[in-house]
Chain A
Amino acid sequence: MDTLNEIPRGWKIFAQVFLILFTMMTLLPLVWMLYSSFKLQGEIMLYPMSLPKEPTVQNYLKAWNIGHMGSSFINSVIYAGISTALTVFLAVAASFSLTKFGYKSSKVYFSIFTLGLLVTVNSVIAPLFIMETRIGLYNTRIGVILPYITFGLPMAILLASSYIKGIPDSLIEAAIIDGANYLQIFWRIILVLSTPVVATIAILSFLRNWNEFVLVFILTSGDHMRSLPVSINSFAGRLNQDYGMQFAALTIGTLPMIMFYIGAHNMIIKGFGEGALKE
């Protein structure tokens, strides 16, 4: 029965100030970035805070062309989309086999997978680079997608198994009595019933894959294989003097995800919360 009135005034004022401060800290930089991207270099230097007097989209045209952002954008969609779909599918398949078949080896495989939570891209990047160079996967899309999927698997399997464990065994037994085989059960029962956890895993992996930097940066060379974060990073070095163009590039990098966030924030926040519960 906690209505607002029962809470001491001091707490309420503190809480209000604290939350407003945090919200401003989040919003101000983004709003400033957005409107500054419509200002030309001279105006940014002279009046850094003011709104654009004569808004222009020139920065966007320049950033788009010089930064090869069109092809980077398409690459990002390909990398994040394909690897998210495959991560989810492989994780659900593996989790079904690890939780519902009752084999002793399952425990071993499961702990091998969860060990992967401790491993990051950085700790395998040198051998991975050498390996991909030797077998001809360096600078190919598949050479990026395979590690994307793999590094998503440990967390995805952790989430999917704890969910699938909760699906009653009786459902599977009934299906077997009705003459279904295990692959049919996977396809018709497990995948269908796992929709909630599939959504969570898909959202977490998509965000992670969309923002991934190191793998594409090291395993590809040249503009035509780059993803959005890598092409934006090029604005840090050689292109860092044109502030307007940089703001435009940053906005191009941010807007799709902010829109995704506005559309799906409930699921995203829930997804992260759930991911945390299972850790």
Chain B
Amino acid sequence: MVESSYKRFSYYLLLLPALILYLSIILFPIGMSSVLSLTKWKNFQMVGFIGLGNYVKLFADPGFLRALWNNVQIMLISVLGQIPLGIILAYVLYRKFVKGFKFYEMMIFMPITISSVVVALLWNRIFSPVGIYTYFVKWLTGNPDYVMRISESPYFAMVPLLFVLLWMHTSLYMVMFLANMQRIPKSSLEAAKMDGASESVILWRIVLPALANVIFTSSIFAISGSLKSFDLVFAMTGGGPVDYTNVMSIYLYKHTFTYNNYGYGSAVSLVIVILSVGLISLGRALYGQFQKKFD
């Protein structure tokens, strides 16, 4: 069977380069991460196994809990802010309520091409004493001495960041929803129009149910994405002032690369992976229940 062994050879020749890269750069480090998370490090040297010690320390650290809470805020703004706004934008464009569909889609989607670092520094300037935001508030309130102080507040320091995240990612959902809305059969919309359905009926009864699956998948990705956010927060605030805007990945970065504790850092990264997988499975289960009810 020369033919079949040649087939198997081709199979592996095509598959192996990708598989080897994947195993050595994603799977192997994850395995190594779980081992590292049980170790203690000092001065670039591993000094021994401490079992679950890192995890115990982690959940007792108010700094970590603060970072976790900030990630939850990012998650909320993604799911309850970016996705609904994305749906509204997509719907307005999909139904051609205004002329210049292509123009608006192109303009609104533009920030997606800009790197998070640039976005972060640009918005820092906008919020600075010489920025657009400050200028606008001065003009609106008539107070020439206004300076933005919200980022120094222990309770609201995340607000500017959340706003920028909204600015940056809403359009991604717009494009995803728009692409899926355009796949809804034209005939079902026309039939509804014939029956005299109003726009809100079309939105609630036809478009949203048809998108349920996509809305669910995007929420899943928004949730897992928000646990991992790093670039924007790192460049915009570095987690400060104090740790008011710290997120888990910056916490991870600091403990791993500033304090050189690879064990503790690995524990943080595993917590992020476990949370993300856990939330996704929970979401899947809930969605399964939800679908059963409607079938």
**Contact surface of A with B, Cβ cutoff 8 Å:** 1-2, 4, 6-8, 11-12, 15-16, 18-19, 22-23, 25-30, 32-33, 36, 44-45, 48-49, 90-91, 93-94, 96-98, 101, 103, 109, 112-113, 116, 118-120, 122-131, 146-147, 149-151, 153-154, 157, 181-183, 186, 207, 210-211, 213-214, 218, 228-230, 232-233, 235-236, 243, 246-247, 250, 253-254, 257-258, 260-261, 265, 268-270, 272-274, 276-277, 279
Q: Is the CB of B26 within 8 A of A119?
A: yes
Interface residues of B in 64-117 (CB under 8 A from A): 88-89, 92-93, 95-99, 104-117
Question: How many Å from the CB of A162 to the closest CB on chain B?
Answer: 14
Q: How far is the CA of A264 from the CA of B68 in the complex (A)?
A: 39
Q: Is the CB of B193 within 8 A of A6?
A: yes
Q: Which residues in B have their C-beta under 8 angstroms from that of A274? A: 179
Given contacts A22-B108, A276-B214, contact A4 B99 (CB under 8 A): yes
Q: Is the CB of A12 within 8 A of B10?
A: no
Main secondary structure of the interface of A (DSSP, over half): helix
Q: Which residues in A have their C-beta under 8 angstroms from that of B99? A: 4
Q: Is the CB of B33 within 8 A of A276?
A: no
Q: Which residues in A have their C-beta under 8 angstroms from that of B95? A: 2, 7
Interface residues of B in 248-271 (CB under 8 A from A): 249, 252-253, 256-257, 262, 265-266, 269-270
Question: How many Å from the CB of B109 to the closest CB on chain A?
Answer: 6
Q: Is the CB of A123 within 8 A of B15?
A: no
Given contacts A12-B97, A97-B15, A214-B230, contact A124 B179 (CB under 8 A): no
28 pairs, CB–CB < 8 Å, chain A vs chain B: A18-B88, A19-B92, A19-B93, A22-B107, A44-B130, A45-B130, A48-B130, A48-B131, A94-B15, A97-B12, A97-B15, A103-B11, A113-B22, A118-B273, A122-B269, A123-B30, A125-B252, A127-B29, A127-B32, A127-B33, A213-B117, A213-B235, A218-B253, A229-B116, A233-B235, A258-B114, A273-B179, A273-B180
Q: Is the CB of B121 within 8 A of A183?
A: no
Number of interface residues of B (CB under 8 A): 100
Main secondary structure of the interface of B (DSSP, over half): helix
Given contacts A18-B89, A182-B10, contact A228 B115 (CB under 8 A): yes
